[in-house]
Structure 1
Amino acid sequence: MKQLTFHFDFISPYAYLAFEQLPEALKGLSYAVDYRPLLFAGLLKHHGQLGPAEIPPKRDWTYRQVLWHAHAHGIPLQLPAAHPFNPLGLLRLALACGEDGRVNRYVAETLFRHAWRGGADAADAGRLEQARALLQPRRDPAGDAVKAELKANTDAAVARGLFGVPTIEVDGRLFWGFDSLPMLRAYLQGDAWFGSGAWEHAAALPAGQTRR
């Protein structure tokens, strides 16, 4: 059985799509998943990047593409009332329900669907309180321990080389994005390409020119 780590932030529609599609994408394979929330903004800050929703033309394309992917894969999705939204309330609530920086699939599913189904405000205080009442976290989402776990998850993700969400980690390999699920399945099935040296060669390609 392979052990997968699913790194995510509720702010990402691609993370939602990948989360929903994962059981179907890996159907028939033997695996277990650790679900680890992190702060996507922390990855962006570390790498000096803007998020997709911070570049106006890319923002429009992102929403069109995720709506298409949802339609094509039969995944219910309605854009929230506003995006990007502040995901800290959702991330901390999730971690308050879990332990050691991990959450179970039910908690992740509840909060992903809170954000990406129904078209409401994902960060609305009243809705967050309803989610808290439903999940009944064992710890205080605003407590220092939960905040420290979120930071630790984000810092550990940076150290592992993550730059975006969703990222699924297995055997030290990182599979980024909703569209990497078929590639992940091929790896788990033992596709010979992964032993051909192509994976390693791609990372060794020298840069011909850099912008200043």
Structure 2
Amino acid sequence: MKHITFHLDFISPYAYLAFEHLPQALEGLTYSVAYRPLLFSALLKHHGQLGPAEIPPKRTWTYRHVLWQGREHDIPVQMPATHPFNPLPHLRLALATSTDGDINRHVTETVFREIWRTGGEPGDKDRLAALAAQLRQVRDPAGDEVKAQLKKNTDEAIARGIFGVPTFEVDGRQFWGFEGLGMLRAYLSGDDWFDSAEWSTADQRPSLRRNNS
């Protein structure tokens, strides 16, 4: 049985869509999943990127695309009142339910749906308190242990070359994005394309280097 590590940040609508669609996308296959929260903004900073919502025209497209994808895949989506928002309270609440860096599907679902199905303000203190009441915490979400765990998850993801969320990792291979679920299914189904040169050498070519002289 293959084991998938699902790297996520609750700020990402595509991570939400992928979470909801995963059982259907992999229907009929045998696998296990570890849901691993990380801080997406730290990935962006490390790789010198802006988030989609930080580029005004891309922000508009992203939100339209997310709503369309929800409609196409019959996944309820109601945009949060504010986006981007600070996801740290949600990430820490989720990690407080676990003794390690992974959380279960119920916790992941509870947090994602609070953000992406209610249309509420994610940072509202009353909403965060109500969310916390739904989760069985075994660690202090505001404690140093949980904060260190989130940093560890993020640092380890960066060290493995992960640049965005959602990223699905299996057998040392990474599949990025909601649209990557089709490739993930093909790999888990034994498609031999993933042992071909098209996979292993796709990036083995020079890129254009700008000459500023």
Q: TM-score, normalised by structure 2?
A: 0.97
Q: Which residue of 2 aligns with 1:180?
A: 180
Counterpart amino acid of 1:184?
L
Deviations 1:67-114 (A, max 9, x none): 000000000110000100000000000000012101000000000001
Structure 2 residue aligned with 1:5: 5
Kindly tell me: are residues 210 and 155 of structure 1, through their superposed partners in 2, closer, same or farther at Cα, counting changes over 3 Å? farther
Taking the aligned partners of 2:136 and 2:130, their CA distance within structure 1 comes to: 10
8 A contact 2:99–2:139 mirrored in 1: no
Shift in alpha-carbon separation, 1:114–1:210, aligned structure 2, 3 A: farther
SS at match of 1:203: coil
Does residue 86 (structure 1) correspond to residue 86 (structure 2)? The answer is yes
Matching residue of 1:140: 140
Superposed, 1:86-125 pairs within 5 Å as 86-125=86-125
**1:34–1:210 Cα change, 3 Å:** farther
1:171 counterpart letter in structure 2:
D
Once the two structures are overlaid, the 10-residue window that deviates more, 201-210 or 41-50, is: 201-210
Residues 55 and 2 of structure 1: CA distance in aligned 2, closer, same or farther (over 3 Å): same
| Inter-partner Cα distance in structure 1 for 2:114 and 2:61 | 23
Letter in 1 for 2:117: R
**In the aligned structure 1, how far is the partner of 2:202 from the partner of 2:2?**
24
Q: Please, which runs of 5 or more residues in structure 1 have no aligned partner?
A: none
The one-letter code sitting in structure 2 at the alignment partner of 1:167 is T
Comparing 84-93 with 117-126, greater Cα deviation is found at 117-126
Alpha-carbon distance between aligned partners in 2 of 1:131 and 1:9, rounded to the nearest angstrom: 16
**Superposition RMSD in Å:** 1.0
Match of residue 28 from structure 1 = 28
Q: Percent identity?
A: 65
Against the structure 1 CA distance between its residues 84 and 193, is the aligned structure 2 distance closer, same or farther, given a 3 Å change threshold?
Answer: same
Within 5 Å, which residues of 2 pair with 1:141-180?
Answer: 141-180=141-180
Which SS does the other structure have where 2:175 is aligned? strand
CA deviation after TM superposition for structure 1 residue 199, in Å: 1.0
Secondary structure of the residue that 2:16 maps to in structure 1? Answer: helix
Structure 1 residue 209, shift from structure 2 partner: 2.5
Check 1:210–1:27 CA distance in 2 against 1; reply closer, same or farther (3 A cut). farther
Equivalent residue for 2:65? 65
CA distance in 2, matches of 1:131, 1:2: 32
SS at match of 1:7: strand
In 2, Cα distance between equivalents of 1:21 and 1:211: 44
The TM-score, its normalising length taken from structure 1, stands at 0.98
2: distance between equivalents of 1:128 and 1:40?
20
Contact 2:35 2:102 in 1 (8 A): yes
Q: Would you tell me which structure has more helix in proportion to its own residues?
A: 1
Counterpart in the other structure of 1:195: 195
| Structure 1 residue identity aligned to 2:196 | S
How far did residue 210 of structure 1 move? 4.3
Q: Does 1:43 align with 2:43?
A: yes
Letter in 2 for 1:89: P
Equivalences, count: 212
Partners of 2:200 and 2:54 lie apart in 1 by 32
Is residue 2:127 matched to residue 1:127?
A: yes
Give deviations 1:110-151, integer Å, cap 9, x for gaps: 000011001001121110100111113111100000000000
In the alignment, the residues of structure 2 paired with residue 123 and residue 44 of structure 1 have an alpha-carbon distance, to the nearest angstrom, of: 21
